[in-house]
C-alpha cells in the first residue's frame, strides 16, 4: 500500500477516529497496537486495520504506555475480538491470581476506592525496563516513571521513533511535558525526561497531539535547555486562555 499521511514512518500508523488520546498501529508480520483509546473507539481501530488490507485477528499484542483509562479502556473490547496479549510495565499492574497480573491505575481512583472493573478484568504480561519486543526489528521498553509509576516509552530503533505515551507530548512541531496528575512523581518524572533526552530519536509519537517527524530528541533537549523544570498546574492554568485563543491543545505544558 502507498504510504498515507496516517503512516508516520514505514510500519507505524496513527489510527484515525480515536476521540481523546492517540492509538498507533504497528504493521509487521503480525500487528500490534500502542494503546487502545476508549471503549467506543474499538470500531475505529478494527476498521482502520481492515482499511490497510489486514485482519483484526492479526493483532497479536497491545503495548500499553501507561494505565490511564483514556489509553487503556478500549483494551477489553479489542482483546475480545482479537485475543491479543496485553503488555504493560509491572508498576502499572497488580497481582491477579498466581503469576497473572492485570492493568491497574494506582492514582486518584484507587485512592477514592472507586472500582474500575475494566482495568481489573484486563490480564496483562508485565514488562521491565530493557525488554526488547520482537516487532520492527526490536522495540525497546524504556521505563519512564513519573506520569504514572509504570509509564513506559517504546523505542523503535530501526525507525528512530519513540512512542512516548503521556511522558512527552508533541504538537507536530515542538514537544511538551505533562503536568502533575494524581499518582505523579515529580522527581522520577524529571529523571525520566533527562534519560529520554540522552537518547536519539527522530520521530516522537505521543499519547496526545500530532506526532513530530524529524529532530524529535533535539526538540526535547532544546526544551530542557530553555525550561529545565517540569510544568506545574499553576503555569498550565495560566496558559489555558492563550491555548484556547490559538486553538492549541490542552495537553502538556504551554508554549
Distances (CA, A) of 180 to 94, 166, 174, 186: 23, 11, 20, 7
Nearest to 106 by CA among 66, 65, 165: 66
The nearer residue to Zn ion, 184 or 201, going by C-beta atoms, is 184
CB of 107 to Zn ion, least distance (A): 9
Which of residues 30 and 110 has its CB atom nearest to Zn ion in the complex? Answer: 110
What beta strand segments (E) does the chain contain? 7-9, 12-14, 24-27, 31-34, 59-63, 85-89, 93-95, 101-103, 123-127, 132-133, 139-143, 152-156, 161-165, 168-170, 175-177, 203-206, 212-213
Residue among 208, 157, 216 at smallest CA distance from 181: 208
In the complex, minimum distance from the CB of residue 177 to Zn ion, in angstroms, rounded to a whole number: 12
Nearest residue (CB) to Zn ion, 136 versus 205: 205
Binding site for Zn ion (CB under 5 A): 21, 68, 70, 166, 207
Nearest by Cα to 23 from 227, 231, 208, 239: 208
DSSP designation for 28: S
- 139 touches 63 (CB < 8 A): yes
Q: How far is the CB of 50 from Zn ion (least distance, A)?
A: 26
Query: Is the Cβ of residue 68 or residue 159 nearer to Zn ion in the bound state?
Result: 68
* CB of 27 or CB of 166, closer to Zn ion: 166
Q: By C-beta, is 11 or 165 nearer to Zn ion? A: 165
Contact 32, 64 (CB under 8 A): no
When the beta carbons of 102 and 167 are compared against Zn ion, the nearer one is 167
Smallest distance, Å, CB 55 to Zn ion? 28
Least spacing, CB of residue 29 vs Zn ion, in Å:
29
Across the chain, which distance is largest between two alpha carbons, in Å? 52
Per DSSP, what are the bridge partners of residue 142?
A: 153
CB of 127 to Zn ion, least distance (A): 17
Distance CA 37, CA 69 (A): 8
CB of 68 to Zn ion, least distance (A): 4
Amino acid at each position: 500500500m502507498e504510504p498515507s499521511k496516517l503512516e508516520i514512518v514505514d510500519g507505524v500508523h496513527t489510527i484515525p477516529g480515536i476521540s481523546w488520546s492517540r492509538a498507533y498501529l504497528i504493521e509487521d508480520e503480525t500487528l500490534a497496537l500502542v494503546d487502545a483509546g476508549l471503549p467506543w473507539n474499538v470500531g475505529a481501530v478494527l476498521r482502520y486495520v481492515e482499511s490497510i488490507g489486514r485482519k483484526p485477528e492479526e493483532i497479536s499484542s497491545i503495548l500499553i504506555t501507561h494505565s490511564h483509562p483514556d489509553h487503556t479502556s478500549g483494551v477489553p473490547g479489542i482483546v475480545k475480538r482479537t485475543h491479543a496479549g496485553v503488555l504493560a510495565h509491572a508498576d502499572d499492574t497488580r497481582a491477579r491470581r498466581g503469576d497473572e497480573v492485570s492493568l491497574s491505575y494506582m492514582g486518584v481512583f484507587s485512592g477514592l476506592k472507586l472500582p474500575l472493573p475494566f482495568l481489573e478484568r484486563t490480564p496483562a504480561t508485565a514488562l521491565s525496563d530493557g525488554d526488547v519486543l520482537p516487532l520492527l526489528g526490536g522495540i525497546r521498553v524504556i521505563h519512564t516513571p513519573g506520569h504514572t509509576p509504570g509509564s513506559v516509552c517504546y523505542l523503535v530503533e530501526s525507525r528512530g521513533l519513540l512512542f512516548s505515551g503521556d511522558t512527552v507530548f508533541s504538537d507536530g512541531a515542538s514537544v511538551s511535558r505533562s503536568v502533575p496528575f494524581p499518582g505523579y512523581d515529580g522527581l522520577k518524572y524529571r529523571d525520566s525526561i533527562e534519560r529520554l533526552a540522552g537518547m536519539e530519536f527522530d520521530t516522537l509519537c505521543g499519547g496526545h497531539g500530532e506526532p513530530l517527524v524529524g529532530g524529535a530528541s533535539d526538540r526535547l533537549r532544546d526544551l530542557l535547555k530553555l525550561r529545565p523544570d517540569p510544568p506545574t498546574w499553576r503555569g498550565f492554568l495560566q496558559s489555558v486562555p492563550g491555548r484556547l485563543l490559538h486553538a492549541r491543545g490542552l495537553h502538556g505544558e504551554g508554549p
